[in-house]
């Protein structure tokens, strides 16, 4: 498994788009900086700034879309050139192959959110909007790691679907639909979509000001929802990969 993960990262070194996508982690911290700069506010509650920079659109749309694009990139060339036939001859375990891709997505997700966290601190502390406190920084890091971990698992259905596609257009469309479906499903039922379940887990303690959810928060139910979707996605991927002979 470790060898497969290492190979995946070696292949990604030449894909400049993969590294450029990390710049998306700066979008919301920068907009939060502009927003509070426009109103000239200081002494802001750190959690309020971080809600703008990391716990809002970054969590709900930007990170899922970036991870969906990464899933497409990871699968595209191998599906396009039928390289899976050669991998099965080696042989490479279908499950090991699929989860090597997933662990790349997970590591990328953690890196993305760590950059978001660092940018959030820089854009809030340096202009004087937020007072530097280790407690608030640890709070931000904890929440960002939770977002990174659970969002990676929530994207397993997209990774499974891209495993069945040779092209990239349908995969990108599915990524967009999946990300926005999570956003729009939250007011209806927070526990039906994996991405809306991530919002429940992150806001379970009610310590993010302004982040209100339409239903009662039950973190174990949200974790169970992500788990069930992940299992279903893995089974779908195994069936799809077993047919690629």
Instruction: Choose between 15 and 115: higher pLDDT.
Output: 115
pLDDT at 175 over 90: no
Residue 1 has a pLDDT of: 63
pLDDT at 245 over 80: no
pLDDT at 216 over 60: yes
User: Mean pLDDT across the stretch 182-197?
Assistant: 85
Least confident range of 34-38, 70-74, 177-181, 196-200: 34-38
pLDDT at 63 over 90: yes
| Share of residues in the chain with pLDDT > 90 (%) | 31
Choose from 33-47, 69-83, 87-101, 102-116 the range with maximum mean pLDDT. Answer: 102-116
Render the chain in DSSP notation, one character per residue: -HHHHHHHHHHHTT-HHHHHGGGGGGHHHHHHHHHHHHHT--S--HHHHHHHHTSSHIIIIIHHHHHHHHHHHHHHHHHHTTTHHHHHHTT--HHHHHHHHHHHHHHHHHHHHHHHHHHHHHHHHTTTSS---HHHHHHHHHHHHHHHHHHHHHTHHHHHHHTT-SSSHHHHHHHHHHHHHHHHHTTT-TTSSHHHHHHHHHTTTS-STT---SS---HHHHHHHHHHHHHHHHHHHHHHHHH--
For 53-62, write each residue's pLDDT tens digit: 888 889 889 9
pLDDT at 4 over 70: no
pLDDT at 212 over 80: no
For 141-160, write each residue's pLDDT tens digit: 999 999 999 999 999 999 88
Instruction: Choose between 60 and 165: higher pLDDT.
Output: 60
Residues 199 and 191 sit within 8 Å (Cβ to Cβ) = no
Residue 91 has a pLDDT of: 67
pTM: 0.89
| Share of residues in the chain with pLDDT > 70 (%) | 85
pLDDT at 90 over 90: no
């Amino acid at each position: 498994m470790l060898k497969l993960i290492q190979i995946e990262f070696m292949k990604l070194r030449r894909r400049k788009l993969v590294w450029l996508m990390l710049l998306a982690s700066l979008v919301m911290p920068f907009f939060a900086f502009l927003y509070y700069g426009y109103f000239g506010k200081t002494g802001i509650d750190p959690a309020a700034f971080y809600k703008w920079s990391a716990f809002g659109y970054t969590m709900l749309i930007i990170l899922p879309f970036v991870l969906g694009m990464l899933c497409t990139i990871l699968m595209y060339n191998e599906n396009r050139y039928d390289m899976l036939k050669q991998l099965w001859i080696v042989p490479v375990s279908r499950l090991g192959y699929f989860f090597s891709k997933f662990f790349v997505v997970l590591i990328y997700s953690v890196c993305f959110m760590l950059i978001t966290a660092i940018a959030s601190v820089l854009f809030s502390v340096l202009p004087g909007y937020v007072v530097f406190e280790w407690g608030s920084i640890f709070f931000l890091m904890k929440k960002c790691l939770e977002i990174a971990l659970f969002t990676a698992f929530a994207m397993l259905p997209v990774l499974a679907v891209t495993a069945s596609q040779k092209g990239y257009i349908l995969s990108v469309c599915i990524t967009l639909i999946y990300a926005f479906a999570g956003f729009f499903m939250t007011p209806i039922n927070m526990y039906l979509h994996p991405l809306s379940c991530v919002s429940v887990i992150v806001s379970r303690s009610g310590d993010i000001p302004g982040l209100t959810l339409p239903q009662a928060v039950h973190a174990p139910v949200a974790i169970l929802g992500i788990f069930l979707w992940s299992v279903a996605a893995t089974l779908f991927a195994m069936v799809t990969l077993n047919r690629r002979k």
